[in-house]
Amino acid sequence: MTALVGTRMVSDDRTARQIFEDLVASSKAVKFGFGDKLAIINVDVQNAYTRIEEFATAYEADANQIEHINTISAMARAKGMPVVWTHVAYAADASDCGVWGTITDTADSLQNIKYGSRRHAFDDRCDIDQARDVIYTKRMPSAFFETPLQSLLVFHKVDTVVVTGGSTSGCVRATAVDSLSRGYRTIVPLETTADKHESYHFANLTDLKLKYADVEPVRYVIDWLRSRPKA
C-alpha cells in the first residue's frame, strides 16, 4: 500500500472558532507583514450591515468594531496614508445588481439597498473625513471590482492593504483575496470584522490566515502606525 504524503479531508468535533484559535496558538507561518505604506479599506460599514437593532441584514461580532475602525483610520489619516470607505447600493429597478440580485427578492434583499436610503448610508458612528477620505459605492463583493481603488493605491504608492468591515465571509474575504492577487501585503484586523454567525466568521478568518492575509489583533496595526513617520 502506498504511503500518503498528502492529507485526506479532516473531520473533527471542533467548532470553527476552536479551529481558528488553535491555528493562532500553533501557527508558525511567516507573516506577509507591512511594507512602507498602507491603506485602510473599510468595507460596507453601512447601516444595512451594522445597525442590528434596526435591520435584519445587520450583524455584530465585536461590539467595539466601529471604534477600532475609527482608531486605525484616524491614525492612518494622520500619517498621510489613504483611508477608503465603501458601501453598496443599487438602482431603483435593481438593474445594476446583475445575477447576484436573482437569488432572492424581499425587502431585505441585497438589490433592495437603494441609493440615498437609510440602508445605504454609512453608520453615523463612523468617523469619516469627508474632505480627505475616499468613498466608493460598489455593487459586487470586492472593493476592487469596478471601482477606482487599484488606481488610487498605485498613485499613493501603497504596498499594504488593511481590510476591515463586513461580512467576513463575503465582502471582506473577496476584498482581501483581490488585494493579495494584486500583489499587496494584506492584513485583516480581527476585531474590525463581523458576520452573521461565528461559524462563517471564524471559518473564513482561518482560511484568510492560512492563505491570503495576516489575521492579527487590531493592536498589530496600531503599533505599526504609531511607529511610522508621516508619509
Residues 202, 179: Cα–Cα separation, whole Å = 20
State the Rg of the chain over Cα.
18
171 is catalytic: yes
Residues 58, 191: Cα–Cα separation, whole Å = 16
Catalytic residue among 171, 176, 194, 218: 171
* Cβ(184)–Cβ(161) below 8 Å: yes
Question: H or E element: which one contains 41?
Answer: strand 38-43
Q: DSSP label at 114?
A: B
C-alpha cell at 182: 494584486
C-alpha cell at 9: 479531508
Catalytic residue numbers?
Answer: 171
